[in-house]
A = this chain, B = another copy of it.
């Protein structure tokens, strides 16, 4: 029961010290639970602190200790400015991150940035002195900038795609492999003329596309046509409709960069009277909850989001501890439902 009655406003450790009849230093140590201070005075001080609802100022503490116990999480909105944060995948990842970080005693500072608008979005965050480390969710089209920063700043982990020889520590799914799996599934289901739905300027998506291309090339099928689209649902719908109309009859399998896109595509297919999976096979990516609920249920490539979040936090903490860490690329998993 923190106070609110005792008007004595115990705001600082010094106030508390005065009440307890000891020095500020002792209070600090007592609250930190250090064994240096007598168990008796320690519990007494803690009792007084509780009684007055006192909490040490994190700013002051952070300044002195040069450690804030806050991890920055930044979402660069590079290749699709608007609305990407509402992307279910990132949001779910964010939720898990919050859990993991909390469990480790860290707070989470969230920042969305539009890299195009300010070039040094990452340096600004890091240099602010407010965070002990940073997790970047998605490389977007900022690969180079992230690489630059990685050279001089260790406590950073990035969610995204792993590229041979890159210098920043990344956690992510093997997108290329996932792309291969998706294409192979489409082909196994009978499709031969494939399309990729999504924006390949995002490096993760590009890798998925490349993976699919691998499979197609290996089997001697015609190259995959790419249907460029934004991620925001409103714009995407129209774009998909147009793509579908443009390629009517010339494609029979679609690999969507994202379940969200796949779901959108599914509704468009329905409204254009194209039967799935008979006339068109469809595979998504992520295995979001929505994949289970579309009609028909979506065949997709699963990323383990919870494991990803755990990996991100784990690696970041190890880096904070001074360890050198490898990147972590996790295998995707094909989930066959009914669209391919």
Which of B55, B267, B293 is within 8 Å of A124, CB to CB?
B55
9-residue interface stretch from A90-98, A163-171, A206-214: A90-98
B86 pairs with A91, CB closer than 8 A = yes
CB-CB under 8 A from A98, the residues of chain B are 85, 110-112
Interface of A is mostly: helix
CB distance from A238 to the nearest CB of B (A): 13
Per the bound structure, the CA–CA distance linking A115 and B178 in Å amounts to 40
B53 pairs with A120, CB closer than 8 A = yes
Task: Indicate if A128 sits at the interface (CB-CB under 8 A).
Answer: yes
Task: Indicate if A34 sits at the interface (CB-CB under 8 A).
Answer: no
9-residue interface stretch from A19-27, A101-109, A194-202, A240-248: A101-109
Over the window 7-43 of chain A, the binary record of Cβ atoms lying under 8 Å from chain B Cβ atoms (1 yes, 0 no) is: 0000000000000000000000000000000000000
Q: Please give me the residue from chain B that is nearest to A85 by CB atom.
A: B95
Number of A interface residues in the complex (CB < 8 A):
54
Tell me the residues in window 50-91 of chain A with beta carbons closer than 8 Å to chain B beta carbons.
53-60, 62-63, 68, 70, 73, 83, 85-86, 88, 91
Q: Please give me the residue from chain B that is nearest to A233 by CB atom.
A: B289
Task: Indicate if A99 sits at the interface (CB-CB under 8 A).
Answer: yes
Task: Indicate if A47 sits at the interface (CB-CB under 8 A).
Answer: no
CB distance from A230 to the nearest CB of B (A): 14
B107 pairs with A109, CB closer than 8 A = yes
CB-CB under 8 A from A99, the residues of chain B are 85, 112
Task: Indicate if A217 sits at the interface (CB-CB under 8 A).
Answer: no
Which A residues fall within an 8 A CB radius of B?
Answer: 2, 4, 53-60, 62-63, 68, 70, 73, 83, 85-86, 88, 91-92, 94-95, 98-99, 102, 107-112, 120, 123-124, 127-130, 148, 151-152, 233, 263-264, 266-267, 270, 289-290, 292-295
19 contacts between A and B (CB under 8 A): A55-B128, A58-B128, A70-B109, A83-B95, A85-B95, A86-B91, A86-B92, A86-B95, A91-B94, A95-B112, A98-B111, A102-B112, A107-B109, A108-B109, A110-B110, A233-B289, A264-B293, A267-B293, A295-B295
